[in-house]
Structure 1
Amino acid sequence: MITKEDFPIDELVRKMKKPEIGAIVTFLGVVRAEGGIQGMNVEVYEKMAEEELNKLEREAREKFNIEAVEIVHREGPLKVGENIVVILVGAKHRKEAFRACEYLIDELKERVPIWKKEY
C-alpha cells in the first residue's frame, strides 16, 4: 500500500496476529539525518508501485513458508525521524519470517518505482 499518511505500526501488528502465527518480523525504515539533510521527498509511480508490491507479496508467499505479509510505503515530503516504509511478515517460525522480510526490502529497493530526493 502507498500512502501519504503515517502508518500505525501497533495496529498493523495487531491485525497480523492469528493463532497460526508464532513470529511477526517487522522492518521499519525511517528518514535519517545524514550529511546535513533535513528530510526527503518520496516520489512514487503509484499504479506501477502498487502492482509491484502486490507481486512481491505473492512471491514471498510462494518462496517462504509464511502466513501473512503487509508492506506500507509513504510518499510525499518526510522529515528526519519520520517513517518511510514498514514491512511485516507473519510465519509459524521466526527463520522464515526473517528471511522473507529481508527478501522483501531488498526486492522493493530494486524493483518498485519509488524515488527519494533528499533536501
Structure 2
Amino acid sequence: MIVNSYEDFKKELNNMIKKYRGKFGGIIGYDGFVRDYDVIEGKKVPCKEKYIESNIINRLKLIEEEVRKRYDIIDILIYHNTGLIKVGERLAAIRIFAKHRNEAFKALEYFINEMKKYH
C-alpha cells in the first residue's frame, strides 16, 4: 500500500499492526532522508535539495507488485515524498510485515535497490 503523506503512513502503520497482530513475526523498516551530499559518477558532490518527480509513485507501485510476487510477505506500507525536498527531510518510509525476518530483509533490500534506480 502506498500512502500520500507521512502522517497517513503513521496512521496506516498502526492500523496494519492491529490488523495483522498474531500473524507477523516482524516488521522491517527503512526511513530515507536527503543527505547534504550526493554521489555522481563516483564523486561526492554537495547537495542542498533533491527534486523527485511525482511519477515515481507509479514506479513504486510496480516495484511493490514485484515484491509481493517474489517474497513471502504479509504486507508492505510505502511513503515517498515528491517535489523539492531539502537536506534532512524525509524522502521515504517503508515497512514490510512478514512471518519471518529472512523474507522481510530480502524484500526490503530488493525494494530499496529498485527504488534507488529512480533517484
TM-score tier, shorter chain, comes to 0.7 to 0.9
SS of the aligned residue for 2:53 comes to strand
Structure 1 contact 13–24 (Cα < 8 Å) conserved = no
Q: How does 1:1-119 map to 2 (within 5 A)?
A: 1=2, 3=4, 5=5, 7-8=6-7, 10-17=10-17, 18-19=20-21, 20-34=23-37, 35-44=45-54, 46=55, 49-110=56-117, 114-115=118-119
**2:11 partner letter:** E
Shift, 1:24, TM fit: 0.7
Q: Counterparts of 1:104 and 1:92 in 2: how far apart (Å)?
A: 18
- Runs of 4 or more, structure 1, over 4 Å off, are none
TM (norm. structure 2) is: 0.75
**2:74 partner letter:** E
Identity of aligned residues (%): 31
RMSD of aligned Cα (Å): 2.1
**1:40 partner letter:** K
**Structure 1 gap segments, 5+ residues each:** none
**2:81 partner letter:** R
**2:65 partner letter:** R
Residues 26-59 of structure 1, C-alpha deviation per residue, up to 9 Å, x if partnerless?
1111011124432222223x2xx33332222121
TM (norm. structure 1) is: 0.75
Structure 2 contact 57–80 (Cα < 8 Å) conserved = no
Q: Counterparts of 1:36 and 1:62 in 2: how far apart (Å)?
A: 38
SS of the aligned residue for 1:66 comes to coil
**Structure 2 gap segments, 5+ residues each:** 38-44
Q: Counterparts of 2:30 and 2:75 in 1: how far apart (Å)?
A: 14
Give aligned pairs, total: 107
